[in-house]
Chain A
Amino acid sequence: MTLRQTAVNCPPLIIPCSRFTTESNKTGSWRFLRPRYENKTAPCSSACPAGEDIPRIEMLVAQGLFKEAWETVLMENPFPGVCGRVCYHPCEQVCNRREFDEPVAIRTVERFLADTATRNGLQPDIKRLNAKQQKIAIVGSGPSGLALAYFLARLGYESEIFEAMPEPGGVLRWGLPTYRLPVAILKADIARILELGVHIHCNKTITPRFLDEVTGHYDAVFLGCGHSHSLPLKIPGEDLDGVEDGLRFLQKLRQGKEVVLNGTAAVIGGGNTAIDVARSAARLGAKPLVIYRRRQQDMPAFDDEVTMALEEGAEIWELRTPVKIAAVEKDYVLTLQQMEVIGEDARGRARIRVQLNKTEEISVQHLFVAIGASSAEQWYKPPPKKSSTMRLSNCSILPRSQGPTVVFGGDLVADIKSVVHAIASGKQAAMALDNLFQNGFDAIRAGIEPNLVGDGPSLSMENYLGWPRTQSSRSVVHHEDLNTDYFRFAPRIIQPRLLREERLRSFAEIDLKIGTILGIREAERCFNCGICNQCDNCRLFCPEIAVVRDDTTQNRRINYDYCKGCGLCVVECPRSAMTLEEECLCNRY
């Protein structure tokens, strides 16, 4: 008999395996700290005047859920096609990824979504509240007026827009050159707004009498007339024939007028208009020369635009201001006063003064003035501070004993004049009017306040409507709140562009489309600050097996019967979507 056969005949090998588990020990009673899931606010969202839920948008793109991502943009901003191209992206300035390698190209991803939606003919599911009785008149179809109409429609209100020009869009239609914003893109964004049942009357200039005539027809009138009156230089020679106003020049181009330039085109000013005039002039054959009284870094024009103008051959003469214009034969002779920096103001802009006896003359073939704009009519201006007007961050509301309430919005009241601020203005006005109609004038501030995104002043419509974002806390996630051990370095996408030579040949759009793979890759760079993206670290690392899957939206929950409150899940959450707080004694057993 072999050893093996002997063994087989022996009694079986018994290895004890206990049948009782340790689950009867409710170790949760040890806990004095309590972790919980808590979505927070990303810095980008809080910095986005439209309050877009950026980390969620990026997460959805990374998951390939493009329609959902696009609808998440549309929840807060009706203009993804426009903002994906021309927004000055304050979100990217504060992106937490900036401290890690480079900020996420948030605007590029937004444009990718808009392009993808168009290419696939997507129709958004836009949720709307029940119809209300009140009706609103909107003067001006710039981004502020259109955004207001959009948000009002979602809240159940009917509105009518009156526009002086033959087509809607305001500066987006008649100012911004097509190399930055093709008209088809604008039209697609506007069409989606009109589909919600917004009526628009073009070629209809509104006069102040309107405010009284419409009593009974409308419950409120919104003035989103923009700043279309160019400021004068107030120097001799400015009225000479051919000295052109920058805004009018851009408008002429957008109306399709043929223009040919040659020689040097001087542009006075440092804002977006000045830069767009210079870049347009370059495309029309001239050599642009931008003359600005402070330093280049102080220019109010958005940085990217200035950089591209330089690439396209524009020259910038800083610290010079014109004092006289003279016509000599077909040219203009400009007398320029040199300025010097004597310090900086609170925002870091140069404080300047005239440098005595330092002037120079320059001869140019074209001259454009673009030193800023204000409202074209006195009655567009919001009443002074002391009146009964309610001044909110992006609009002012004037209650009137007779006639409809008047709301001033968009550029008319904006500190920073931008498309996304105009959108923010429309959104805020919609929330304000809803509160006014439903709960009265005094309820407006309190009704808006809970919808601030993070530190504000951005507002969330999703929150206002009571949809899921309501569950996010307003505390903003900073870089030090993240566990960056889970992130890898990845270079930011390089926006593909037309070559310099190609750009100068036409007004064709400069920024090119990016493909799906690049779009997803860029979105994957996002840390998804403050929102759970189901990475599962909390469940994986829990020493107590106290994080269990379930079918809630979180997909998991903490089993407080066993959670000892070690807090490890909160530290291992890469994106600060969990919070550890002191256990309330009342929760203990």
Chain B
Amino acid sequence: MSVQTMSLSGRKKEVSNKKMSFWESLYLVAIVKGLWITIGHLFTRKVTVKYPEEVRTRSAVWRGQHMLKRDEQGRENCTACGLCALSCPAEAITMTAAERKPDEKHLYREEKYASVYEINMLRCIFCGLCEEACPKDAIYLTESKVLVPASYEREDFIFGKDKLVMPLEMALANSKNKN
């Protein structure tokens, strides 16, 4: 088989400019064939998901809303190393680092922590690269099915630590489950 005649899909058709006969030029046969195809679609299963009533099932590896993790003692894992921000292809993450005070040992696990940690949800593409980059297991994408809610203000889409950090009760519950 030569390259010219090869067909990967097996459906290759030569274009021909041959003159149509009288019957062909009336298009009747072709139209009836077309009608036959479309009427078949009248009886096929519809693909629409009626959204507010029905929610599409999501894959097992669904990447949902981010969360900044706490360890078993309820301390934040993040050390503000900036690797997540560096790895983010959408440049969605910004943070400000701060030094841990001696009396904050119960709040932050490492000596340096993120005093501000923001993800711009309008930029984020939920690729999960931040999760992969993090050396401290601090950020991860949860299974949450809740989508970023709509809003009129751009500021509302910048999620700060108040929305991202894992609630304390959840951390304690987790540690209880483990023990």
Partners in one complex: no
